[in-house]
Structure 1
Amino acid sequence: MKRILILSMLLLSLAIQAQEKNTVYLFSYFKNNGQDGLHLAYSRDGLTWQALKNDESFLKPEVSKDKLMRDPCIIRGADGKFHMVWTVSWTDKTIGYASSTDLIYWSPQIAIPVMAHEEGARNCWAPEITYDAKKKQYMIYWATTIKGKFLETASEKESGYNHRMYYTLTKDFKTFSPTRLLYEPGFNVIDASIVKDGKRYVMFLKDETREPVQKNLKIAYSKKINGPYSAASKPFTGNYWAEGPTAFKHQGNWIVYFDKYTLKQYGALSSRDLENWEDISAKISLPKGIRHGSILNITEEELQKLIHVKMVE
């Protein structure tokens, strides 16, 4: 019986290794101010990334007065489609949404008025989507500053922005639950990115505090996708300003990519336990000018279609 158990564990390990060997990672990102839209790059080892379509845009922004496509977040939904949200403007109370079956041809873009009910809402930045398999619904979440709220952490610097994380739930991207507060850690917070880890949810987030300066990445945990989330951990990034975390697992290791934005370069950290971190920034290679986005898994077949996209357009 013991031998059978050991053999089963070995076969499972080999199957996981084979699956990871064939995994293709896709990085969705924007460049400059996000005016030209969605960019995509791929990697097989999670370290070296190659831009697709000669680093030209796959989808040009059409919604909002500013017509931007910043911070694109794409996930594969339970319906097999790719669902994407993004920042449409510096000041709008909406976020962008579109879907696709192949990452090449997209549905009409719509603006979801997630903060239209808040008269004092100043922005909707860096939205992301996470799927709740238990309740079969999606949570869309983003950062907003609302005038007159959370004054205890307000600062006059950086135009007085003082964000908290908000969310809405949807099953079909047509109807949405009322917007609610997702995370109030007691500081200016932005760029949350939530992933499922076993029975818990892990939120990677940016402490945006300017006085005294933080500008680093932290982690919070919850048993439920919409919280409550724990107090934020100590920073796991170093002595530089960091933002836009996106995380995935590769060969049992967590890898978190993020933007060292004041240094105009990307960084990456690796960990097995989300507590002890190794800086692997020197091992990564990314397209020039890449900015805040997300990483997901795709198949080799899907990648080949993206590689040959010019042939089918």
Structure 2
Amino acid sequence: MYVFSYFKEEQESLFLAVSEDGYQWRELNGGHAIFASHIGSKRLRDPFIWEDREGTFHLIWTDGWRSRSIGYARSSDLIHWEDERLLPVMEQIPETQNTWAPEIFYDTAAGRCRIIWSSTVGTGPRNHRIWSATTADFKSFTDSSLFFDPGYNVIDANITDLGESYLMLFKDERGSNEKGTDYKAVRSCLLKKQEGDRPQVAGISGLLTPALTEKTDTL
């Protein structure tokens, strides 16, 4: 069973769809929202769900366009959500403009869960890099630090464990949101498993998708 989490522009809340084969999808709850944010900006964009070893589902999301925090809630059944709160991951970083598209993976080198997200730090136009923090219990967190910086604007990172290394997909956010742009598409790279908060990067790929493409995730 595949589960797809998403939001809608007309209703920034958590929606879920399920599939047996990854091709045919059925919306849950009659196509109505499963959960809505009551904290921060009360906006819920870019929902990401991660299941831990005990079967608890951890939901994180973008809390609006300019928030320095990300939203968090947990559930045992994907329907009923509790412990809703803001995680102030970038509140202590001066000149942070935003905190977008958070995701979770288990960092085997650190022995902890790692949350990654995109933030612009500094004045001027948005120029994102990927930041991260780790946690063992989703109650206390390490200080946030820079995780990935290829030297240009990137967002929407997603990491898959390949065993010997991690595969990361990310969006090259250069260019413009107009037809004919040279960027705004997905690249990949390998990350070496190692101690520390900023892994060694190997082999950033060319553009893997057409321009004006963003990635999606399933559970």
**With structure 2 as the length reference, what TM-score do the two structures score?**
0.91
Describe how 1:34-73 pairs up with structure 2 within 5 A. 34-35=11-12, 37-64=13-40, 66-73=41-48
Kept in 2, the 8 Å contact 1:207–1:215? The answer is yes
Look up the match of 2:174: 209
CA offset digits 1:194-226 (Å, max 9, x no partner): 111122111000000127741010001112275
- Give the counterpart letter for 2:191 in structure 1: S
Paired with 2:138 and 2:79, the residues of 1 have a C-alpha distance of 20
Aligned to 2:30, the other structure's residue is in SS state: helix
* Structure 1 residues 230 and 219: CA distance shift in structure 2, 3 A: same
2:218 is aligned, of 291, 295, 300, to 295
Q: Could you tell me which residue of structure 1 aligns to residue 93 of structure 2? A: 118
For the pair 1:86 / 2:61, whether they are aligned, the reply is yes
Counterpart Cα distance in 2 of 1:108 and 1:34 = 22
- Counterpart of 1:236 in structure 2 is 208
Tell me by how many angstroms 1:135 deviates.
Answer: 4.2
Does structure 1 conserve the Cα–Cα contact (< 8 Å) formed by 2:118 and 2:128? Answer: yes
Correspondence list, 1:24-39, <5 A: 24-32=1-9, 34-35=11-12, 37-39=13-15
Number of corresponding residues: 212
- Bigger RCO of structures 1 and 2 (CA < 8 A, at least 6 apart): 1
**Of the two, which has the highest radius of gyration?**
1
Aligned amino acid, residue 242 of structure 1: T
For 2:69 and 2:161, locate their aligned partners in 1 and report how far apart those are by CA, in whole Å.
26
1:228, distance to aligned residue in structure 2 (A): 2.1
What code does the residue aligned with 2:204 have? A
> What per-residue deviation string (whole Å, max 9, x for no partner) do you get for residues 151-183 of structure 1?
xxxxx7xxx111000000000000000101010
Greater helix fraction, Structure 1 or Structure 2: 1
SS of 1:30's partner is: strand
Deviations 1:235-287 (A, max 9, x none): 1102x3111x23xxxxxxxxxxxxxxxxxxxxxxxxxxxxxxxxxxxxxxxxx
Q: Which runs of 5+ in 1 are unaligned?
A: 1-23, 149-155, 247-293, 297-313
Unaligned runs of 5+ in 2: none
| Cα displacement (A) at 1:120 | 0.4
Partner of 2:218, secondary structure, is strand
Q: Is the 8 A contact 1:33 1:68 kept in 2?
A: no
SS at match of 1:78: coil
- Residues 20-53 of structure 1: CA deviation (Å, up to 9, x unaligned): xxxx000011111553x11000111111111111
RMSD: 1.7
Letter in 1 for 2:131: Y
Percent identity over the alignment is: 37
Residue matched to 1:174: 139
